[in-house]
């Protein structure tokens, strides 16, 4: 405490010391807070090493949570609309399976990214990460299920006609000895492929990532052949546009650490692709 030479000095010191002390305490707290905050926003981290998962920056984690979190309630409402529009038991169950998978896709993804952002439990993160990847396969299969169930007679003939002469698919079917590829034949095959994809993903989690992506593409595209081959039924262009969103989104799915917010951009492509496919199911298959 400083030496006070007069009563006036004592009064001045007594009246100003609490304010000076409080100001110093506030300054120390603000200095500590500033030191704990990042000096700049880190939009991405370095790419993951082979066999390891990418570690997103904080802003990436927030974006990942937001971009799929905002889709959960709309997906629930969209599922309810499918139930209301269905006019037959087959439509009801096809729409219900599709809608549940749609809701779970966004819910599991949001839960995983929220856990990564807030929780240090590595076992929980790994469990939800595996679940997030498995939901991709389940969603692919369930997206086809309404079409394969409600349009079972849609087919591709191996015979080359004037309409199909520009496509290689009929020629490939003919060379394989397949006369006709019918949508109904793929109804359960797509679920079998999804199960095999999940099994592979659980065994080789975070290994051979490009092979894993290739499996996603193959399982996503092969069952679509009866649909995208022709333009003679309603909904084909919505299916093609939705598929284009997914395919373009894969560029960002594989660009973590190279493109800022790459995974969140992938989420946005998934949301748009799912919206286009939902519109087609709701408009052309239900009611």
How far does the chain reach from its first CA to its final CA, in angstroms?
Answer: 86
Tell the residue number behind the tokens 């009801």, with chain if given.
92
- Please count the residues of the chain: 287
φ and ψ at 106, to 5 degrees?
-75, -35
* Rg for the chain, CA atoms, rounded: 28
The response to whether 267 counts as a known ligand-binding position is: yes
C-beta of residue 281 within 8 angstroms of C-beta of residue 82: yes
**Sign of the CA dihedral running 43, 45, 46, 51:** negative
C-beta of residue 102 within 8 angstroms of C-beta of residue 146: no
**Sign of the CA dihedral running 120, 73, 265, 261:** negative
Tell the residue number behind the tokens 């704990």, with chain if given.
36
The response to whether 263 counts as a known ligand-binding position is: yes
- Rounded CA gap, 142 and 139, in Å? 5
Query: Could you tell me which residues come within 8 angstroms of residue 132 by beta carbon, excluding any fewer than 6 positions away?
Result: 108, 109, 112
- Rounded CA gap, 223 and 1, in Å? 83
B/e letters for 176-207, b = 16+ CB within 10 Å, e = fewer, are eeeeebebeebbeebbebbeebbeebeeeebe
- Binding-site positions for Zn(2+): 113, 263, 267
- Binding-site positions: 113, 263, 267
């Amino acid at each position: 405490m400083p030496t006070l030479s007069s009563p006036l000095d004592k009064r001045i010191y007594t009246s100003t010391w609490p304010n000076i002390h409080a100001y110093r305490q506030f300054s120390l707290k603000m200095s500590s807070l500033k030191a704990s905050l990042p000096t700049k926003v880190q939009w991405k981290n370095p790419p993951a090493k082979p066999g390891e998962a990418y570690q997103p920056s904080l802003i990436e984690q927030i974006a990942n949570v937001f971009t799929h979190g905002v889709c959960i309630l709309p997906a629930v409402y969209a599922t309810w609309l499918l139930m209301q529009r269905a006019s037959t038991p087959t439509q009801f169950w096809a729409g219900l399976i599709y809608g549940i998978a749609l809701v779970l896709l966004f819910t599991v993804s949001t839960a995983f990214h929220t856990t990564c952002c807030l929780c240090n439990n590595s076992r929980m993160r790994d469990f939800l990460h595996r679940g997030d990847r498995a939901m991709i396969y389940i969603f692919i299969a369930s997206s086809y299920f309404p079409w394969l169930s409600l349009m079972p007679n849609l087919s591709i003939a191996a015979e080359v006609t004037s309409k199909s002469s520009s496509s290689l698919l009929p020629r490939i079917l003919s060379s394989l000895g397949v006369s006709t590829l019918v949508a109904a034949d793929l109804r359960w095959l797509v679920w079998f492929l999804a199960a095999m994809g999940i099994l592979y993903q659980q065994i080789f989690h975070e290994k051979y990532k490009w092979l894993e992506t290739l499996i996603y593409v193959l399982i996503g595209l092969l069952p679509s052949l009866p649909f995208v081959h022709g333009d003679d039924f309603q909904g084909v262009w919505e299916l093609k546009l939705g598929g284009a969103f997914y395919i373009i989104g894969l560029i960002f799915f594989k660009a973590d650490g190279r493109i800022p917010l790459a995974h969140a951009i992938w989420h946005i492509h998934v949301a748009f692709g799912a919206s286009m496919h939902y519109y087609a199911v709701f408009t052309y298959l239900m009611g």
